């Protein structure tokens, strides 16, 4: 059972910060060094100084970006730049955006504190592997500042018998419209007046936040969430860091009650069936394969995939073929350096993975596009070991299609695989089975803005 609680958040004080857009930032792990510089210049109290401070040549333990973040966090409280709410609250968080070629849509959710539990052993499930480096970095920040500066992003199902988001009825109408969205209705009923935050991020997404501190509304929302499993969409490293921080704090605490703030972590919750929830693909650029030969590679792929060629001049046809019927067919787009053609390769039959791998991999992985790519193509055909994949020794991950196709002509890059998006129901299916997907299997959109609410981990 998911235990979700309100908390007394720190918010930027609008009397001190007239333009809140100047102090917000994207999640720390998508910020380039160049954009970090820009955010530093944008405003002296930009959240970047807390979530991703700059390193200096003379940094050492106790005098580094973590200690500077702690000092800034403390000073901004003293200056009144950050103001703490007097009553525990949940924070309704709605994001509005217009997809390419589409009308504006909104994703509805809320921010609260969820009680920590071991992943996969209760109500909270992961779907991706984590690395030790980012967890050590985030733990150092938490120890220095004793706060959650960014939300973990979780999704939840709205009904066991409801059809999956994105399926369509026989009449062609969107089945998602028929699904219950109990929590969304409660949020709509709970929000009053104008939002306390209304800013548009650099990605063009409008972010609105309402404070919900009415005890009756808080109780209705948290009660409605109790029986729902939670699946981490983004923030696996931060969740595991919160578990490590809890362990660290328990060692420092005499007679713990179990209700100390460090037993909780700030999380954003949205429905898997929400009309504004999207998953974008992350493409794979491959480099450094010794003895790579394009003709031999395509021939080997032909044993398991139907291969269709498209002249470079027909890129639009190539991309349309890649996405056609992608919910039912496993397809990858392939571009090889120096070749005049793009290719779409389609798995000949679902039984291919079973015949090749048998019980060596889980059934859930045998029908998952990203797993088929990593197990069959990257490992079996190209010879990139699982360890090398996890260390990203031969792989570069690129979000946009144009950038991925351009990358294959640069440096030592040899070929690129264009992906279709992972389906949200696959995230649920793999997570519930206690399994993990390969890294960068999902890119949930829109990303959550950092700087909206801070969760202090003290009473």
- pLDDT range class, residue 178, cuts 50, 70, 90: very low
Task: List all residues 6 or more positions away from 8 whose beta carbon is below 8 Å from its beta carbon.
Answer: 84, 85, 86, 87, 88, 89, 456
What is the reported pTM?
0.90
d(CA 48, CA 269): 23
- Give the sign of the dihedral formed by CA 143, CA 145, CA 150, CA 151: positive
The helix/strand/coil state of 167 is coil
What pLDDT, on the 0 to 100 scale, is given for residue 34? Answer: 97
- pLDDT range class, residue 175, cuts 50, 70, 90: very low
For the sheet containing 341-347, what is the strand order? 305-311, 341-347, 331-336, 413-418, 283-287, 395-398
Mean pLDDT of 408-416: 91
Among 97-111, 265-279, 305-319, which is the least confidently predicted range?
Answer: 97-111
- pLDDT range class, residue 165, cuts 50, 70, 90: very low
Q: How is residue 438 annotated by DSSP? A: P
The helix/strand/coil state of 170 is coil
> Left (φ > 0), alpha (ψ -120 to 50) or beta: where does 23 sit?
alpha
pLDDT, averaged across the chain: 92
What pLDDT, on the 0 to 100 scale, is given for residue 294? Answer: 95
What element of type H or E holds 429? helix 424-432
What pLDDT, on the 0 to 100 scale, is given for residue 166? Answer: 39
């Amino acid at each position: 059972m998911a235990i979700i609680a309100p908390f007394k958040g720190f918010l930027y004080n609008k009397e001190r910060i007239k333009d809140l857009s100047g102090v917000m930032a994207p999640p720390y792990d998508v910020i380039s060094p160049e954009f970090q510089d820009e955010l530093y210049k944008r405003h002296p109290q930009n959240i970047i100084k807390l979530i991703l401070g700059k390193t200096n040549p003379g940094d050492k333990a106790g005098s580094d970006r973590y200690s500077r973040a702690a000092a800034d966090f403390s000073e901004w409280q003293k200056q009144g730049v950050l103001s703490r709410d007097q009553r525990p609250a949940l924070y309704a968080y709605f994001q509005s955006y217009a997809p390419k070629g589409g009308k504006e849509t909104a994703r509805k959710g809320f921010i609260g504190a969820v009680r920590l539990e071991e992943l996969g052993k209760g109500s909270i499930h992961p779907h991706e592997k984590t690395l030790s480096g980012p967890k050590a970095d985030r733990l150092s920040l938490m120890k220095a500042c004793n706060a959650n500066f960014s939300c973990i992003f979780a999704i939840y199902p709205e009904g066991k018998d409801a059809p999956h988001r994105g399926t369509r009825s026989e009449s062609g109408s969107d089945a998602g419209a028929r699904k219950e969205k109990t929590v969304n209705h409660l949020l709509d009923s709970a929000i009053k007046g104008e939002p306390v935050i209304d800013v548009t991020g650099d990605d063009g997404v409008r972010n609105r936040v309402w404070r919900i501190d009415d005890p009756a509304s808080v109780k209705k929302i948290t009660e409605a969430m109790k029986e729902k499993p939670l699946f981490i969409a983004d923030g696996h490293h931060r969740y595991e860091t919160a578990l490590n921080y809890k362990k660290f704090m328990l060692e420092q605490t005499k007679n713990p009650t179990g209700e100390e703030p460090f037993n909780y972590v700030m999380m954003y919750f949205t429905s898997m069936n929400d009309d504004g929830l999207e998953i974008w693909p992350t493409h794979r650029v491959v480099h450094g394969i010794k003895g790579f030969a394009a003709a031999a590679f395509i021939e080997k792929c032909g044993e398991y995939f139907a291969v269709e060629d498209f002249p470079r001049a027909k890129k639009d046809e190539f991309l349309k073929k890649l996405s056609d019927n992608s919910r039912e067919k496993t397809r990858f787009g392939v571009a090889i350096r120096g070749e005049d053609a793009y290719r779409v390769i389609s798995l000949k039959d679902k039984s291919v993975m079973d015949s090749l791998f048998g019980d060596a991999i889980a059934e859930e992985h045998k029908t998952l596009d990203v797993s088929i790519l990593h197990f069959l193509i990257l490992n079996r055909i190209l010879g990139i070991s699982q360890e090398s994949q996890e260390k990203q020794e031969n792989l570069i991950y690129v979000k946009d299609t144009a950038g991925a196709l351009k990358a294959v002509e640069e440096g030592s890059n040899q070929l690129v695989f264009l992906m279709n998006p992972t389906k949200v129901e696959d995230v649920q299916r793999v997570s519930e089975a206690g399994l993990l997907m390969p890294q960068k299997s999902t890119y949930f959109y829109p990303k959550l803005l950092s700087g909206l609410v801070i969760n202090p981990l003290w009473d």
